[in-house]
């Protein structure tokens, strides 16, 4: 299986704002939302559009879907939390912790992927675990090493270890479950905030992983041929862990925010650049208000094309 894809889909926000329902478990988002919601939404749309431009310039196939005004989904710009797609034609739909995020799951988007030529063979919907208070928020919770069939996941209120095991069993993946905390000692809410895994390189905040799990995670990455770029707490707070490797016509690229890029040292940029071209865009308003970054905005399409 290929680690990367050339196609992603994004959801353009229409009522963007900081989501009060997610603030308790997301230390990275604003505690005080913008007073002018119209201006906040407009700025988010501008930054969204610029990201799409930068990705398309790099040769990435971006499918853009518009959010709908009703129901109000303030975090719709982060579709990777409710869906993952796979090269055997399966689509997984995931359980979300915040009630007002659950309506982000959209069957019309899954149908649209089929209409543009992708082969959707099965939809695996595990969202019914929401009724049991168990959550697994897509590739926010699961950082997938698709080439080696490994799923990395840090425990949190949004990442249930039992569901990780269940999904991995269905995918034929090995689960690498660990605990990670931020500098205040609170669980990191999503794995993809503190960890990125590409084809031959991985960036991870090793100091955030609890001591009893740290060596195991590092050994798993090195055993699969990944060069480790070790991130600091300061850097993951600036979303340096929230990157995604994609494929373009001129080879691999790593998409990240301008803030994440600026936080990296010259040595770290050189490490990453040896493996892929770095593509960045300013989404600082989206990052600050909603506590997510570029990787969260990109839902990879790994589905096979229809014959």
Q: Which residue has the tokens 């990191």?
A: 188
Measured distance CA(147)–CA(197) in Å, rounded:
10
What sign for the dihedral angle of Cα 178, 184, 190, 192?
negative
pLDDT band at 31 (very low <50, low <70, confident <90, very high): low
Q: Which residue has the tokens 């359980």?
A: 95
Mean pLDDT of 79-92: 98
pLDDT number for residue 222: 98
Measured distance CA(297)–CA(279) in Å, rounded:
14
Indicate the average pLDDT of the chain.
95
Distances (CA, A) of 29 to 18, 268, 304: 7, 25, 35
pLDDT band at 22 (very low <50, low <70, confident <90, very high): confident
Q: Where is average pLDDT lowest: 23-27, 71-75, 226-230?
A: 23-27
pLDDT, tens digit, for every residue of 125-165?
999 999 999 999 999 999 999 999 999 999 999 999 999 99
- Cα separation of the two ends of the chain: 19
pLDDT band at 30 (very low <50, low <70, confident <90, very high): low
Mean pLDDT of 97-109: 96
For residue 107, how many C-alpha atoms fall within 13 Å in the half-sphere facing its CB?
4
Q: Is the pLDDT of residue 29 over 70?
A: no
Mean pLDDT of 84-94: 98
Question: What is the C-alpha radius of gyration for the chain, rounded to an integer number of angstroms?
Answer: 18
What is the distance of C-alpha 261 from the center of its chain? Answer: 17
pTM equals: 0.96
Q: Is the pLDDT of residue 306 over 60?
A: yes
Mean pLDDT of 157-182: 98
CA angle 245, 176, 80 (to 5 degrees): 40
* C-beta separation of 204 from 230 below 8 A: yes
Q: Is the pLDDT of residue 32 over 70?
A: no
Mean pLDDT of 28-41: 74
Pick the more confident residue, 298 or 26.
298
pLDDT number for residue 28: 72
pLDDT, tens digit, for every residue of 42-72?
999 999 999 999 999 999 999 999 999 999 9
Task: Write the burial class of residue 265 (CB in 10 Å: 0-12 exposed, 13-18 middle, 19+ buried).
Answer: exposed
* 10 φ/ψ angles, rounded to the nearest 5 degrees: -130, 155
pLDDT, tens digit, for every residue of 206-248?
999 999 999 999 999 999 999 999 999 999 999 999 999 999 9
In this prediction, what percent of the chain has a pLDDT beyond 90?
Answer: 91
Q: Is the pLDDT of residue 23 over 70?
A: no
Q: Tell me how long the chain is.
A: 307
* C-beta separation of 143 from 195 below 8 A: yes
pLDDT, tens digit, for every residue of 192-215?
999 999 999 999 999 999 999 999
pLDDT number for residue 36: 76
In this prediction, what percent of the chain has a pLDDT beyond 70?
Answer: 96
Measured distance CA(136)–CA(139) in Å, rounded:
9
pLDDT number for residue 273: 98
Measured distance CA(11)–CA(54) in Å, rounded:
16
- Joined tokens for residue 215: 């060596």
SS (H, E, C) the chain: CCCCCCEEEEEECCCCCCCCCCCCCCCCCCCCCCCCHHHHHHHHHHHHHHHHHHHHHCCCEEEEEECCCCCCCCCCCCHHHCEEECCCCEEEECCCCCHHHHHHCCHHHHHHHHHCCECCCEEEECHHHHHHCCCECHHHHCEEECCCCEEEEECECCECHHHHHHHHHHHCCEEEEECEECCCCCECCCHHHHEEECCCEEEECHHHECHHHHHHHHHHHHHCCCEEEECCHHHHHCCCCCCEEEEECCEEEEEEEHHHHHHCCHHHHHHHHHHCEEEEECCHHHHHHHCCCHHHHCEECCCCECC
């Amino acid at each position: 299986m290929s680690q990367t894809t050339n196609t992603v889909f994004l959801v353009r926000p229409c009522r963007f704002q900081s989501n009060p329902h997610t603030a308790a478990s997301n230390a990275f988002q604003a505690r005080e939302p913008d007073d002018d919601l119209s201006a906040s939404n407009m700025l988010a749309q501008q930054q969204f559009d610029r990201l799409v431009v930068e990705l398309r310039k790099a040769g990435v196939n971006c499918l853009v879907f518009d959010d709908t005004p009703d129901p109000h989904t303030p975090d719709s710009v982060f579709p990777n939390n409710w869906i993952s797609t796979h090269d055997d034609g399966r689509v997984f739909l995931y359980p979300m912790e915040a009630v007002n995020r659950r309506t982000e799951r959209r069957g019309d988007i899954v149908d649209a992927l089929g209409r543009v030529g992708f082969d959707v063979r099965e939809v695996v919907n595990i969202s019914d675990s929401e009724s049991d208070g168990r959550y697994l928020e897509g590739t926010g919770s699961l950082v997938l090493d698709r080439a080696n069939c490994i799923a990395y996941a840090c425990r949190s209120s949004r990442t249930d270890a039992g569901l990780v095991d269940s999904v991995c069993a269905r995918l034929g993946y090995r689960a690498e479950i660990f605990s990670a905390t931020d500098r205040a000692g609170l669980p990191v809410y999503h794995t993809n905030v503190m960890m990125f895994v590409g084809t031959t390189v991985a960036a991870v905040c090793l100091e955030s992983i609890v001591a009893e799990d740290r060596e195991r995670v590092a050994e798993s990455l090195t055993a699969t041929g990944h060069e480790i770029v070790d991130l600091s707490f300061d850097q993951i707070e600036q979303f340096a862990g929230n990157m995604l490797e994609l494929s373009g016509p001129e080879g691999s690229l790593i998409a990240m925010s301008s803030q994440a890029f600026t936080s990296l040292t010259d040595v770290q940029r050189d490490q990453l650049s040896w493996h892929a071209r770095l593509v960045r865009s300013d989404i600082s308003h989206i990052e600050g208000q909603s506590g997510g970054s570029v990787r969260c905005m990109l839902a990879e399409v790994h589905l096979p094309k229809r014959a």
